[in-house]
Amino acid sequence: MPSLSQESRRGLTLLSPTLIYALVMLAAPLTMVVMFSFWTQDYLDLDKTFTFANYREAWTQPIFQVLMWRSLRISLVVTTVTVILAFPIAYYLSFHVKSRKALWLFLITVPFWTSYLLRVFLWKVILGYNGVLNSSLMELGIIEKPLTFILYNANAVVLTLAHAWAPFAILPIFVALEKIDRSLLEAAEDLGDGPLRRFFRITLPLAMPGVVASTLIVLIPTVGDYITPKLVGGTDGLMVANMIQIQFGKANNAPLGAALAVSSMVVVAAISVGIYFAGKKFGGKVK
């Protein structure tokens, strides 16, 4: 490429191993999934004639519709809960913790590094019929019969995912809050703005990029979560990833699985773009 400067060429050469890896291991496989989703499979034979049949099935069959809606609903609730719970803690860290911020951040990430499988499993132990929560509540005399609405349903999935993704929500918000120029808040106070006004007109809009980043970082992966629905979701908490796995595994229908994967990716991508632009519109500048 003669038009590129020497610097550009050097940068691209240095980047090329990583870029080639990503192209071979990410772009190529993703393209193949898309191709696969237009094919059909009869047990082990693959029919490569182009067809929309998989998408028709994925979008019209009630079971897939139910799973897709449930996945989206659960993910949106998880994201909202996680981000709303994360904001005050990030705010506390940024505005109230003077020293040892790094220690706090470290402590927040420690639970995240325990085996994800075991964390989800332990939530099952906590929430179960004879679980930690029920037995302690009964011991304290707060309830007489064990609560049953907390395990093997969507609530359990929401709680467990909100726990699993907490650090991912806290860190971007914390970074955005740290960047806020404190003199802006002092200026607003000098000009007579009360604490609420200062929060909603300065802190929150300026923290918006962090909030949007948190939202997307939690939302996108949770739609495709497999372990949590499988372990604590029961039959009412299963999500689209579980169905994708079934299609690739037991059902031996990889093309339908691929169509489900592509469909959920497209839907999530569309929602993410929406959130991104909404965040851009409502935040970022001091009004």
Partner 1 sequence: MMRSVGNFISSKWLVVYAVAYMLFLYAPVILLPLFAFNDATVVAFPLSGYTTKWFSLLWSTDALHGAVRNSAIVAMTTALISTLLGACAARSAANYSFPGKKGVMGFIMLPLVLPEIIVAVALLVMLMQLGMSLSLWTVIAGHVLICTPFSIAILSSAFAGMENSLEEASFDLGETRWGTFRRVTLPLIMPGVVSSLLITFTISLDEFIIAFFLTGTDVTLPVYIWSQLRFPSKLPSVMALGTILLIVSVVLLIIAEVFRQRAARRQGMDAGAKQGLV
Binding residues among 144-203 for partner 1 as defined by CB under 8 A: 163, 166, 182, 185-186, 189, 195-196, 198-199, 203
Region of 17-25, 55-63, 147-155, 274-282 interacting with partner 1 (CB under 8 A): 17-25
> Segment contacting partner 1 (CB under 8 A): 49-57, 58-66, 124-132, 274-282?
124-132
The gap between the terminal CA atoms of the chain, to the nearest Å, is 46
Instruction: Map the footprint of partner 1 across residues 23-52, applying CB under 8 A.
Output: 25-30, 32-33, 36
| Residue 26 burial (10 A CB sphere; 0-12, 13-18, 19+) | exposed
Tell me how far apart the alpha carbons of residues 194 and 202 are, in angstroms, rounded to a whole number. Answer: 11
Regarding beta strands 40-42 and 45-47, do their DSSP bridges make them parallel or antiparallel, or are they unpaired? antiparallel
Q: Residue 125 and residue 187: Cα distance in Å, rounded?
A: 51
**8 A C-beta contact, residue 254 and residue 41:** yes
Exposure letters 260-279 (e unless 16+ CB within 10 A, then b): bbbbbbeebeebbeebeeeb
Separation between Cα atoms, residue 91 and residue 97, nearest integer Å: 9
Q: Which residues in 248-287 contact partner 1 (CB under 8 A)?
A: 248, 254, 257-258, 261, 264-265, 268
Residues in the chain: 287
| CB nearer to partner 1: pick between 154 and 185 | 185
What x-and-dash track marks residues 207-226 binding partner 1 by CB under 8 A? ---------xx--xxxxxxx
Output the smallest distance, CB 180 to partner 1, in A.
9
Applying CB under 8 A, among 45, 50, 62, 113 the residue interacting with partner 1 is 113
Least Å from the CB of residue 11 to partner 1: 3
Q: Minimum distance from CB of 220 to partner 1 (Å)?
A: 5
Q: Examine residue 55 and tell whether it contacts partner 1 (CB under 8 A).
A: no
Which listed residue (51, 55, 81, 109) binds partner 1 by CB under 8 A? Answer: 109
Among 63, 110, 140, 191, binds partner 1 (CB under 8 A): 110
Q: Rounded to an integer, what distance in angstroms lies between the CA atom of residue 256 and that of residue 280?
A: 36
Shortest distance, CB of residue 67 to partner 1, whole angstroms? 13
Tokens, residue 141:
């005399």
Smaller CB separation from partner 1, 111 or 284: 111
Residue 238: closest CA among 247, 246, 229: 229
Least distance from partner 1 to the Cβ atom of residue 4, Å: 7
User: DSSP letter at 147?
Assistant: -
